[in-house]
Chains A and B, each alone.
Chain A
């Protein structure tokens, strides 16, 4: 059972920021599927929740030239089912459809996931792998500057993610090894190709959260096929280790996942 807290449903960005500022220890909530379980376990105790999903600027999915722009409060289920997303970046739609279970997908939002930066979450790999731009209530942040380690981002206190703009790639693929219990990513690789450029982002494995695998990017830029990765390895030193996967196994899965993502563009590949 949670500790007592106040609840505020914000209607505008200004309203949200003011409500956040006026409380001692406020927290923004969108879908709540990370925050609420933490509160139920009494591991988080904000005195005010400021609910963001009714703010109009946080809604909408649209193609804007060579970009796909998704509102931060769009749910995983909405992204997965969107014809616009499926047409522009099918791997992104498939990724969204692989998050959690139907209940989670109908409440959880892209903005919530990205702002939380759980090291085992799916979305950060797509945001980083596609080189997206994160639009906030204050500014625009490049994906490469946004993720700052486990559960940490470039967001300032009170700053709100409003939408995320994804460059539409020539192709992209996502391969995920799931934790046998939680089904979060044990290691998952998002691979995107833009002409001769390739970006590879890996989530679930790194002890600093999502990261780009530059060696693989260079090898794939030269030759975009799974075999280009032969002999390349991620350093186990930077990997998380727990009873579900050791650092060495995670490092191995990074390579296997990247190869499978290259081999299966336009979709989700589940390694387990």
Chain B
């Protein structure tokens, strides 16, 4: 990824302007129909785009024909098992592998020293977001931050429970696991720290000697003087501290990798489901010091990602390395226990937010102090970075100041997790707005209405420098409230009370950013039979790309959607591509597929002109065929393709401008104050996704997104025992999840305010379900408990937490009989 300099860089020391309509848009921000080569999109010819075309991948997936990584086996394959640290922090004095080497079926026992001796390097995670529009996170001294090298196996010490410190490769999985127990590590236990605020306290244990105090990123953004002035004259200041809990993805398919080495060619093939095979190939080749041409990565069907699979896992590099050393295929499949300990985790943000308001409830300024717990080393700063650009949420807040820090702890690394960074800051601002409304005696909805960014102010530059591209925020809120039957809340309240339940409602507006890796490439081939093959570098894990991408190309080429096949996840075919994250896929892939389609049609037009005997510019193109008004002859794309010369076009596109999906979600809960049971009884949302290619798929994405956000708010949690440093939720016995019987049916609506930044006007879908859900659930629970004196509760809002809150509340005793 390249660094670009332009006037829009958000450096920590740049003097930021007050928020407001953005009059000077950066170059390349808006979509340029002419420069793109697409021209004006034939919107009237959309036949498939916008239709709920059924997902063509589902028959394969629901009939057991999916090709997940663990489904692959190669004759003669060996199995790898990891020796993992039982301690959160411990020096490796020595590793004795002798007994394990002698065990039956064992071919190799490898340590970090062996990896160093073989010249292996750290995984080049590249964690600092680097598009032109990302905030610039830096070390306390302003330099690029030290991220903690991620060696495949550490040589100095283990920095979190479950960190792999040695690998056993054997003829069977059982033999590998048996031998792994025979590896003797001479540990020296060290003091440990799991909480990011504790880690910054004086005298805290050091995770890395290179970073005293553990905070390796410390950057400030915004106009501090203007913020201080606004706070000084504010009629009211609302203030709160929140912890957005740590969660893990719990993918249905545990992570797995199978490496196969061909001694004849010197090439390795790695079967490894991920968020994008191209990145896996690039980073693994660099880790192992391989020529990228000698590595093929296959990522076919992927059983859940949510961000956890976007970054390279050490085991992927380890099986690759072992297979080359032993010249045998080597497989690793994580157990559920290993997944809980060592899948990249999500969230874990401490935030202190303050909002200054005038006497009429107009927002004047905001302060935020955000601390991201990245774990034992930094694989991604995306959560902190994405959230930094969005602390002011959907509201016009003239001035804001943010201090953003990232901290090492003795915990598993965190990564971008579905809607990276945005649910965290949405939770903070929406809870803060509710607090301000309550403290000032204002209506929560009216207070929001008064401060939402107006459509007439779009594009709008926030006090953090983000440029919101488009959106009708107040209309979203009104539509969501109508869908929710807001006016009938009092009646439902009375009904619940008659049944001994307490009803509560939480509303959250959200705006999120979709940035993501800026480059994407599409290659489109039309075969003589008329079949269209599209090679693209995104990687679905359930999002339905094989359907929605085919809809785009089908309309561009005016061919039936059934004829279009999408090819993904094989680096021998996909040479470049940013993978799937940050809601980038439809926007980036849709744009570059449209460009390649336009290129292909230009070539076809020239060929058709020859065939029909008219100048190319005089030809019409309808229903997939070229014709001329003076002739009854036509020629189709299929007829222009030959076996020797199929129609082919390829395009690489780079697009930096982010888009800002937005919307409103509302949750209703009923609480039994005796049992502390919380039941979600109603959930409505409006999501502005820009152009919606397939509403059925977008709805499905919203449903899943909501469940994921609700899951974090209600059940999911990765707590760590402060004394022992041990994770307390190591299995599904202790890690609660959303299930079909504990989430309601959702009322979801789509809004299509087209983004001016790309040809289709796409924003993004799916993450919008997750982003506001943490806030809506928590606010609904607090709304229900307010009459009982409860003012605060932290996620997940379990019955136990409710019980504690009710007993700590001042009015608890008299109200609870």
Contact = CB atoms under 8 A, between A and B. Distances in A.
B804 A272 contact: no
A246 B800 contact: yes
B799 A249 contact: yes
Q: Is the interface of A mostly helix, strand, loop or mixed?
A: loop
B734 A182 contact: yes
Contact of A177 (B678, B719, B799): B799
Interface string A225-267: 0000000000000000001111011001100100000000000
A41 interface: yes
Contacts of A249: 676, 799-800, 803-804
Interface in A1-45: 1-4, 41-42
Contacts of B715: 180-181
Nearest to B817: A230
Interface in B731-777: 732-737
Interface string B702-743: 000000000000110001000000001100111111000000
A180 B799 contact: yes
A4 B174 CA distance: 9
A62 interface: no
Contacts of B265: none
A271 interface: yes
Nearest to B803: A249
A42 B338 CA distance: 14
Interface in B674-722: 674-678, 714-715, 719
Contact of A271 (B677, B729, B800, B803): B677
B733 A272 contact: no
Contacts of B798: 180, 244
Chain A interface extent, by class: 20 to 34
B300 to A, nearest CB: 25
Nearest to B728: A243
Contact of B675 (A2, A182, A243, A271): A271
B722 to A, nearest CB: 12
A1 B734 CA distance: 21
B733 A181 contact: yes
Contacts of A180: 714-715, 736, 798-799
A182 B732 contact: yes
A153 B732 CA distance: 27
A79 B729 CA distance: 32
Given A1-B173, A181-B715, A253-B675, A244 B803 contact: no
Contacts of A2: 174
B800 A256 contact: no
A243 B736 contact: no
B178 interface: yes
Contacts of B728: 243
A256 B675 CA distance: 7
Contacts of B126: none
Interface in B759-817: 798-800, 803-804, 807
Nearest to B807: A248
Contact of A1 (B174, B676, B678): B174
Given A180-B798, A244-B798, A272 B677 contact: yes
A4 to B, nearest CB: 7
A156 B804 CA distance: 42
A94 to B, nearest CB: 16
Given A1-B173, A1-B174, A272-B799, A181 B734 contact: yes
B171 interface: no
Contacts of B737: 181
A252 B806 CA distance: 13
B107 to A, nearest CB: 17
B799 A243 contact: no
A256 B736 contact: no
Contacts of A179: 733
Specify which of B174, B674, B732 lies most central, judged by the most chain A CB atoms within 10 Å of its CB: B674
The residue in A1, A3, A4, A256 that gathers the most chain B C-beta atoms within 10 A of its C-beta is A1
A121 to B, nearest CB: 13
A182 B735 CA distance: 8
Given A1-B173, A244-B798, A271-B677, A182 B733 contact: yes
Contact of A181 (B674, B676, B735, B803): B735
Contacts of B804: 246, 249
Contacts of A245: 799-800, 803
A189 to B, nearest CB: 12
B642 interface: no
Contacts of B652: none
A244 B675 contact: no
B734 A243 contact: yes
A184 B714 CA distance: 18
Contacts of B674: 256
Contact of B800 (A4, A41, A182, A244): A244
B789 to A, nearest CB: 18
Interface string B165-202: 00000000110011000000000000000000000000
A246 B798 CA distance: 12
Nearest to A182: B733
A246 B674 CA distance: 15
B60 to A, nearest CB: 24
A256 B732 CA distance: 27
Nearest to A271: B675
Nearest to A186: B799
Given A177-B799, A252-B803, A256-B675, A243 B719 contact: yes
A3 B178 contact: yes
B337 interface: yes
A245 B736 CA distance: 13
A177 to B, nearest CB: 6
Nearest to B174: A1
A1 B177 contact: yes
Contacts of A243: 719, 728-729, 734, 800
Interface in B221-238: none
Contact of B337 (A41, A182, A256, A271): A41
Interface in B260-306: none
B798 to A, nearest CB: 6
A245 B734 CA distance: 12
A222 B173 CA distance: 62
A182 B732 CA distance: 6
A209 B714 CA distance: 28
A41 B340 CA distance: 13
Contacts of B799: 177, 180, 245, 249, 272
Contacts of B337: 41
Contacts of B678: 272
A244 B676 CA distance: 12
Given A1-B173, A181-B715, A243-B728, A272 B675 contact: yes
A266 B799 CA distance: 26
B790 to A, nearest CB: 15
A169 to B, nearest CB: 25
Interface in A161-220: 177, 179-182, 184
16 contacts: A1-B177, A177-B677, A180-B715, A180-B736, A181-B736, A182-B732, A244-B798, A245-B799, A246-B803, A246-B804, A249-B676, A256-B674, A271-B672, A271-B677, A272-B677, A272-B678
Given A243-B734, A244-B734, A272-B675, 18 more contacts: A2-B174, A42-B177, A177-B677, A181-B732, A181-B733, A182-B734, A184-B733, A243-B728, A245-B799, A245-B803, A246-B800, A246-B804, A249-B803, A253-B675, A256-B674, A271-B672, A272-B672, A272-B678
Q: Which 6 A-B pairs have the closest CB atoms?
A: A272-B677, A181-B736, A271-B675, A180-B736, A182-B733, A249-B803
